[in-house]
Chain A
Amino acid sequence: MHVIINCNTFNEYFTVFSLDLFSFCLLDKIFLTVCFSVGYSAVALNHVIDFKEKKQEIIKPVSPSELFPSLPIVQGTSKKIKVLTRLTLVVSDPSHCNLLRSTSANIRLYDIIAVFPKTEKLFHIACTTLDVDLVCINVTEKLPFYFRRPPVNMAIDRGIYFELLYTPAIKDSTMRRYTISNAISLMQICKGKNIVISSAAERPLELRGPYDVANLGLLFGLPEGEAKAAVSTNCRATMLHGETRKSACGVVYTVKKPRKVEEEETAVPACKKAKTQA
């Protein structure tokens, strides 16, 4: 269970980061204020589901307005911080993916869906057919499989992003080696496209600013432009990708309009109105 943080644009200091549900009780305003003083502007609350444990059910996401009654304003602009919800599925078996295909109402409520494949077959399935926004790349241990070009290219075409974590690298030196080797092997296949760098911070002090995270991207082998994009535009694209799942093919959105009941009863239909006026 961890906090994952993605950063975003330099121009608007736009960031997405995820907080685990358990940490909400420990979550202070301090965490938020640190993040936003450093320059992030959007937050995603993460819920990790691990299928290896006893069967877990997908809970409805906690509404952000309940947790943070007053949202601070982004530095430099006058917009409020965005708070989104995110779900991470740790899959080690193809049957776990059925959850995504089922039209369970609770999944639809999350803004961003991420999957963490543990085997090569699952990685292939996640890149080619699953309806997710992010594919997490393991950084805490040596990858059991090598990346191949076909599924990675298909994922890039579909608009799926690969996520790398950086807080394990800050904490521990063995993790650092695994992070860098896994990241570089990914880089060699995908040439730096479609990468999102995020943090799995459990404490506010494990966060890093957007400029620093882009510099970390350089360590991972990303070219400089891509490193900055990994921190900014790619995250925004992930958010939009998540939004399109709520709409019809990304073109039509439905918004609930409050009905005014009295007006409905007395209103004259439009066609009749035109004739009487004419």
Chain B
Amino acid sequence: VRFKNRYVLCEVVSEDPRCRQCIEDRALGLAVRDAIARVHGDYGLACCSISFTVKYLNAYTGTVLLRCRKDSYRLLCSALPFVRYLESRAQRYPCFLNTLHVGGTIRTCQKFLIQYNRTQLLRLLQNCTNEEERQCIQKSLLSCSLTEEQSQSGDEEEDDGTETD
């Protein structure tokens, strides 16, 4: 018998390109907790923060993986739309969180993320202007897989970062 968790995969969307660089796990955790407190009150905040952490954060793509208990993931998911800004180093960046996937394990979220990144890369490929960038994207598209995730996911995210800038 073990504790069951839910992993919520989100993407931080904002207009300001500086916002992505300043994403950090503490700021995001605070913002999400604050939203839960505003929507569900003290009870909701207490329920959700039993096993609440930011498990994975990617500043280049703005991908965030949150963890919470299975019993309270509904409270968390329904409060995510109410996150309006991220605050870090006395700067407020307006943004919103877009939920991509809710999974029971990190592995399923990772599989989804790889698929999602692949579609995003395809979309970037369409908007490519430079031949070099095109080659880069095509190479990373062909090389994304679950087994070699540590080195490759770093590659594909890096390319993603250069294109979006």
A residues with CB within 8 A of B = 30, 34, 37-39, 73, 75-76, 166, 169-170, 173, 176, 204-209, 211-213, 215-216, 218-219
Contact = CB atoms under 8 A, between A and B. Distances in A.
B15 A212 contact: no
Interface of B: 13-15, 38-39, 74, 77-78, 80-82, 84, 94-100, 119, 123, 126
Nearest to B16: A205
Nearest to A34: B13
Contact of A212 (B38, B39, B84, B97): B97
Given A204-B15, A212-B77, 11 more contacts: A34-B15, A169-B82, A209-B99, A211-B99, A212-B81, A213-B81, A215-B77, A216-B78, A216-B81, A218-B74, A218-B78
A215 B80 contact: yes
Contacts of A215: 74, 77-78, 80-81, 99
A209 B15 CA distance: 15
A219 to B, nearest CB: 5
Contacts, number: 56
State the 4 A-B residue pairs at the shortest beta-carbon distance, nearest first: A209-B98, A212-B81, A211-B99, A208-B81
B84 A170 contact: yes
Given A34-B13, A37-B13, A219-B78, A212 B98 contact: yes
Nearest to A173: B38
A122 B38 CA distance: 35
A76 to B, nearest CB: 6
11 contacts: A34-B13, A37-B13, A170-B81, A170-B82, A176-B39, A205-B95, A208-B81, A208-B96, A212-B97, A212-B98, A215-B78
A75 B119 contact: yes
B98 A208 contact: yes
A211 B123 contact: no
